[in-house]
Amino acid sequence: MGRNHDTLLRKFHQARWDEPIIFEMSVPGERGILVRQAEKSVENEVGDGVSVIPSSLRRTVPPQLPEVSQVRVLRHFMRLSQETMGTDVTIDVSQGTCTMKYSPKVQEHIATRHPGMAEVHPLQPESTLQGLLEVVYKLDLFLREISGLDRFTFQPGGGAQGVYTGASIVRAYHAARGDVDRREVITTMFSHPCDSAAPATAGFKIITLMPDEMGYPDVRALKAALSERTAAIFITNPEDTGIYNPRIDEFVQAAHKAGALCYYDQANANGMLGIARAKEAGFDLCHFNLHKTFSVPHQCMGGSVGAVGCREALAKFLPVPQVEFDGQKYALNYESNESIGKIRSFIGNPQSVLKAYAWIMQHGSGGLREAAECAVLNNSYLEKKLIEIPGLTVHYAPDKHKLEQIRYSWEKLYQDTGVGTEDVMRRMADYGLQHYWMSHPPWIVPQPFTLEPCESYSKDDLDEYAAVLRQISREAYENPELVKSAPHNQVVHKVPEPSIDQPERIAVTWRQYLKKKVASSG
Amino acid sequence: MVQSNEKTVFPYIPNSVPEVKSQMLAEVGASEIMDLYAEIPAQLRFQGQMNLPEPILDEYSLKRHLRGLLEENKNCEEYLNFLGAGCAQHFVPAVCDEINGRGEFLTAYVGESYADHGKWQALFEYCSLMGELLDMDVLSCPLYDGAQAAATSVRMAARINGRREVLIPKTMNPESSQVLRNYCQPDLSLVEVGFHPQTGQLDLNDLSGKISAKTAAVFIENPSYLGFFEDAAEEIGRLAQQQGAEFAVYTDPISLGVLAPPAHYGANFACGDFQPLGMHLQAGGGLGGFIATADDMKYVSEFKDLMFGITETVQPGEYGFGEVLFDRTSYGSREHGKEYTGTTTGLWAITAAVYLSLMGPRGMEQTGKTIMQMSQYAARCLSAIDGVELRFNSPFFKEFVLNFDRTNQTVAQINRSLLENKIFGGKDLSRDFPILGQSALFCVTETKTKEDIDRLTSVVRKVI
């Protein structure tokens, strides 16, 4: 029996292994692996090797690691993987703003299995890294085309670190001009939290613009906030609502007029590849998340790359080393007196760069545009299906076309039934879908959730996704307790207090848990 | 390649089938795709064509193309590698690759602790296993790399005591110190503490002269970037704490089967990079940072990244997980959170958990011992060559500095000769540490056999 043809629902149950914590599996004396030991002749020459360690620095008590045989370790982590709903096993429309697209296996296999990638040391002579440097250099060229900007770095290990890199460049740019009083950064509430937090970490005071009644950032508020103290604006477009701000160039022009730089967080770029670029909107800097837009897998939150691009005038501030090409060979250039230095060790995550390169090579400009178009079409199609569901609304600009994602609201459902967005979120995985992502706090949109059905999902996938939400809405109206007490068919049951803030409840390691358990039972 | 009406149907884009696309457009009431882009005004639309290469549409040809590029690289399986300097070639158990290749882990992201319970448990176990290795109770989800962990440790310290000055060793890993210099701006200043010319270790007189009531943290590396131990680590910590400063120690986790963890000699922060614990070199892409502290809210509330706490579900005795102090993070409180957080290195943390589970206490102890023995053997063989000297006389772990001044050759020249013999010689230190003359940092791990080291020795002897 397969999926029900009428309802499009499937009888799903996630793997539930009731798996212990690895420490509970320990049997004294068991070995997970035997490791290489020095040759006898080496030992004869240098002795036990460890006697030379000063006594104050010798480990006297071995680490209390578990002792578990190999097959049991393997089985344990296999089971934990089965208790994880990666995009490879679900219709992952759920994690809006994250662009959960298919990560092609071919690039994964090459990047992880080929010794020319897996077994390469970052400090090898450049002559032995020519293939790798070529990939880095060419991805830079590709992203220049896709953004219209002039130079990229792949050193940042994620989008937020990309934004931090941008903030560091902004700081260096104004410092180089002696414009030291520019200490403020303006962002918007519907831009990602890192657009305020990363510049704040770089020392800037943050001004956050709230959305107007249409969901757009307020241009009058921007103009009022801009001054000779403004270092930059950090902004997303479309914002997390999916609504493209048609006056974005007005924002950029106003900021430039005030002497500020403009940073474009392009985490939401997937619907615009080949259609609209940072350059035409006037931005000075931008970043793409290679793990969102360019198919690198999300890897349980990394590693990946926040690829930061800028205009030529800012290129001298980029982190070192930069990859250069003289027409014959590729080289790493560490010389840049005005560089911000380093953001991450070596040249970042080259294996992610290779995967993004592969994806672009496989699609070309036509394929990139096809991906963008299908992502936007999927979003419109899903919206059309969802707005028919009782209790569900599109909070902002319901009559306008959104691009790649939409922030929806269950406020009406909540008012009608008492079932809120967190309840629905828990319930949906009972039907084999990843929990949707709601919204970063604060919830400007009440009872929010955010969906991004990127180009990887078929029409049939979207129909099934809509069917699940329709079913849960029906359950909320007919039997709200069923939804409120979810999950029912998953790995574990509902956690009654998932926010752990009291010191006596905080246990982030097994040893801390055991100590607190003893303390509470004593 | 699948063709439909001569238009390419992309295998990763199901709805690129023209008939499906048309049907969906009709369903949403659009006559053409650009209707859906109505919100983007004409002046903001890109009118040109992106100048990208012609696509390689079929998977086989793409694979050939990628393989061709990677074969332009030399690698540390075909060459004998003695480069380390923050990214070391260690043994990777097959089970580590098996688990981090699992599609469920590979493609998971920020799902909640129900459908992604396994991910939450694996990351909790990463923290728990590292906690045992470091003998400390508290870790967060991983950081980008060791350099970031060093930088965040000192910023945490500065937030705790409200001070602005951080003391770092002059011998610090230059990759990390460059990250630190940028990350400490604009509020913190870094003051370098000199080293003893014979031992390489921190100059305690210089430290005593520089430490003051302004010092937020004293940061050391142990084992140091240049390999040696800081014998006086405990005393350095005492000096720091007497002045009300925090004591932060950067350590190599693979040393901790034989070397005392920083907590045992008084560190308030233990930090470092867990790449040695099961990650391939990946040209530096396998790095991942950790920070550990004691269970004290003074420290716990200053971590910047997500923390997963174990708790119970509504079923008595069933483990569940929740977010610990979420408002502490920038996800919860935007610019009011601690620094910023985001996507870091979750899959590598899970891999480190697998590694430590396999190794157990015996595996860590034996690996530490093997590294000590093999690196001492290499140092002994190489420094027996006329003109080659061990630069420092301290005991060391995994890495050591060789000086070639008396050979009348530069490290660059020697490394070029080694390369011709399919050997990657030690990292040339002459740019970052000119004071050390023509010196190189050699890294010898458990992956090197006596035969490997004997070969290196005979080639060095031949080429100088």
CATH code for position A267: 3.40.640.10
Determine, yes or no, domain membership for B340: yes
pLDDT score for B74: 98
Nearest CA in chain A to B273: A345
Stated as kind and residue range, the H or E segment containing B161 is helix B146-161
**Closest partner CB to B359 (pick from A32, A98, A492):** A32
Q: Alpha-carbon distance A301 to B140, whole Å?
A: 13
Contact B265 A301 (CB under 8 A): no
Residue A214's pLDDT band (boundaries 50, 70, 90)? confident
Residue A209's pLDDT band (boundaries 50, 70, 90)? very high
Chain A residues in contact with B331 (beta carbon < 8 A): 193, 440-441
Q: Is A437 exposed, middle or buried (0-12, 13-18, 19+ CB in 10 A)?
A: buried
Domain co-membership, B195 together with B301: yes
Determine, yes or no, domain membership for B23: yes
Residue A101 CB partners (closer than 8 Å, separation 6+): A87, A270, A292, A295, A371, A454, A455, A456, B12
Q: What's the average model confidence in pLDDT over B313-335?
A: 97
Tally of domains in chain B: 3
CB B107 within 8 A of CB A150: no
Stated as kind and residue range, the H or E segment containing A45 is helix A40-46
Coil vs helix vs strand at A239? coil
User: In B28-80, where does DSSP find H-type helix?
Assistant: 59-70
Domain co-membership, B98 together with B86: no
At B15, give phi and psi (nearest 5°): -85, 15
Per-residue tokens: B8: 């390419």
Arithmetic mean of pLDDT over chain B? 97
What share of chain B in percent tops pLDDT 90? Answer: 98
Determine, yes or no, domain membership for B390: yes
Residue B387 CB partners (closer than 8 Å, separation 6+): B404, B406, B407, B408, B464
Chain A residues in contact with B131 (beta carbon < 8 A): 509-512
Q: Alpha-carbon distance B293 to B303, whole Å?
A: 10
Per-residue tokens: A169: 């460049």
**Closest partner CB to A145 (pick from B12, B50, B322):** B50
At A58, give phi and psi (nearest 5°): -80, 140
pLDDT score for B4: 47
- The residue among B332, B356, B380 that closes a domain is B356
User: Which residues are paired to B399 by β-bridges?
Assistant: B443
Q: Alpha-carbon distance B375 to B373, whole Å?
A: 6
**Closest partner CB to A380 (pick from B28, B67, B234):** B28
User: Across the A/B interface, how many CB contacts are shorter than 8 Å?
Assistant: 742
Chain B residues in contact with A85 (beta carbon < 8 A): 104, 108, 111, 115-116
Contact A171 B56 (CB under 8 A): no
Contact A197 B373 (CB under 8 A): no
- One-character DSSP codes across A297-343: --TTTBS--EEEEE-GGGGGGSPSPEEEE-SS-EEEE---TT----S
Determine, yes or no, domain membership for A82: no
Q: Return the CATH number at B406.
A: 3.90.1150.10
Nearest CA in chain A to B431: A334
Domain co-membership, B258 together with B335: yes
Determine, yes or no, domain membership for A267: yes
> Which structural domain, as residue segments, surrounds residue A374?
92-485
Cα dihedral sign, A186-A189-A193-A194: negative
Tally of domains in chain A: 1
Which of A57, A69, A280, A435 to mutate to probe the B interface, most B CBs <10 Å?
A57
Nearest CA in chain A to B131: A509
Crossing angle for the helix pair A105-113 and A350-386, nearest 10 degrees?
A: 160
Domain co-membership, B392 together with B350: no
Domain co-membership, B167 together with B278: yes
pLDDT score for B1: 46
Contact A345 B449 (CB under 8 A): no
Q: What's the average model confidence in pLDDT over B330-343?
A: 97
Q: How many helices (H) and strands (E) does chain A have?
A: 16, 13
Determine, yes or no, domain membership for A447: yes
Measured between CA atoms, how close is A39 to chain B, in angstroms?
7
Q: What's the average model confidence in pLDDT over A3-19?
A: 94
Determine, yes or no, domain membership for A491: no
Measured between CA atoms, how close is B380 to chain A, in angstroms?
9
Q: What is the pLDDT of residues B236-291, one digit of tens each?
A: 999 999 999 999 999 999 999 999 999 999 999 999 999 999 999 999 999 999 99
Measured between CA atoms, how close is A151 to chain B, in angstroms?
15
Which of A12, A16, A77 to mutate to probe the B interface, most B CBs <10 Å?
A77
Q: Alpha-carbon distance A447 to A253, whole Å?
A: 35
Contact B372 A50 (CB under 8 A): yes
Residue A360 CB partners (closer than 8 Å, separation 6+): A139, A142, A294, A368, B52
Chain A residues in contact with B260 (beta carbon < 8 A): 56-60
Q: Alpha-carbon distance A141 to A304, whole Å?
A: 19
Contact A275 B318 (CB under 8 A): no
pLDDT score for A1: 66
Determine, yes or no, domain membership for B214: yes
Chain B residues in contact with A123 (beta carbon < 8 A): 83, 85, 87, 427
Contact A196 B335 (CB under 8 A): yes
Nearest CA in chain B to A34: B363
**Closest partner CB to B75 (pick from A54, A120, A456):** A120
CB B166 within 8 A of CB B188: yes
Contact B346 A157 (CB under 8 A): no
User: In B211-317, where does DSSP find H-type helix?
Assistant: 233-242, 297-300
Chain B residues in contact with A82 (beta carbon < 8 A): 104, 118
Nearest CA in chain B to A39: B450
For tokens 């790493």, name the residue: A332
Q: Alpha-carbon distance B115 to A490, whole Å?
A: 6
Of A303, A297, A361, nearest to A109 by C-alpha is A297
Determine, yes or no, domain membership for B175: yes
Which of A150, A301, A394, A438 to mutate to probe the B interface, most B CBs <10 Å?
A301
Contact B115 A196 (CB under 8 A): no
**Closest partner CB to A42 (pick from B282, B307, B450):** B450
Contact A303 B295 (CB under 8 A): no
Contact A381 B73 (CB under 8 A): no
pLDDT above 90: residue B3: no
Q: What's the average model confidence in pLDDT over A266-275?
A: 96
pLDDT above 50: residue A251: yes
Of A257, A198, A248, A267, nearest to A226 by C-alpha is A257
CB B147 within 8 A of CB A47: no
User: Which residues are paired to A186 by β-bridges?
Assistant: A207, A233
Determine, yes or no, domain membership for A121: yes
Determine, yes or no, domain membership for B121: yes
Chain B residues in contact with A108 (beta carbon < 8 A): 101, 106
Q: What is the pLDDT of residues A448-492, one digit of tens each?
A: 999 999 999 999 999 999 999 999 999 999 999 999 999 999 999
**Closest partner CB to B40 (pick from A119, A145, A244):** A244
Contact B117 A304 (CB under 8 A): no
Domain co-membership, B350 together with B364: no
Domain co-membership, B86 together with B134: no
Domain co-membership, B112 together with B258: yes
Contact A506 B325 (CB under 8 A): yes
Q: Return the CATH number at B158.
A: 3.40.640.10
Chain B residues in contact with A196 (beta carbon < 8 A): 330, 334-335
Q: What is the pLDDT of residues B117-176, one digit of tens each?
A: 999 999 999 999 999 999 999 999 999 999 999 999 999 999 999 999 999 999 999 999
Measured between CA atoms, how close is A205 to chain B, in angstroms?
9
Residue A522's pLDDT band (boundaries 50, 70, 90)? low
At A166, give phi and psi (nearest 5°): -60, -45
Q: Alpha-carbon distance B216 to B222, whole Å?
A: 19
Determine, yes or no, domain membership for B191: yes
pLDDT score for A521: 82
- The residue among B356, B382, B404 that closes a domain is B356
For tokens 């837009």, name the residue: A293
Q: Alpha-carbon distance B44 to B280, whole Å?
A: 44
Nearest CA in chain A to B184: A202
Domain co-membership, B8 together with B32: yes
Domain co-membership, B160 together with B233: yes
Contact A82 B115 (CB under 8 A): no
pLDDT above 80: residue A166: yes
Chain B residues in contact with A289 (beta carbon < 8 A): 343
CB A284 within 8 A of CB A263: yes
Residue A479 to residues A419, A435, A474, A487, B314, Cα–Cα distance (Å)? 10, 20, 8, 14, 20
> Which structural domain, as residue segments, surrounds residue B443?
80-90+360-463
**Closest partner CB to A32 (pick from B50, B295, B360):** B360
Residue A329 to residues A474, B73, B425, Cα–Cα distance (Å)? 63, 13, 22
Contact B66 A354 (CB under 8 A): yes
Measured between CA atoms, how close is B279 to chain A, in angstroms?
9
Contact A492 B114 (CB under 8 A): yes
Nearest CA in chain B to A61: B260
Residue A139's pLDDT band (boundaries 50, 70, 90)? very high
**Closest partner CB to B313 (pick from A46, A244, A495):** A495
At A81, give phi and psi (nearest 5°): -65, -40
**Closest partner CB to A459 (pick from B20, B361, B377):** B20
Determine, yes or no, domain membership for A1: no
Determine, yes or no, domain membership for A314: yes
Determine, yes or no, domain membership for A147: yes
Domain co-membership, B177 together with B273: yes
Chain A residues in contact with B104 (beta carbon < 8 A): 81-82, 84-86, 88-89
Q: What's the average model confidence in pLDDT over B24-49?
A: 96
Q: What's the average model confidence in pLDDT over A368-385?
A: 98
Q: What's the average model confidence in pLDDT over A203-227?
A: 94
pLDDT above 70: residue A418: yes
Determine, yes or no, domain membership for B69: no
For tokens 């998932």, name the residue: A498
Chain B residues in contact with A41 (beta carbon < 8 A): 450
Q: What's the average model confidence in pLDDT over A72-78?
A: 98
CB B378 within 8 A of CB B405: no
What share of chain B in percent tops pLDDT 70? Answer: 99
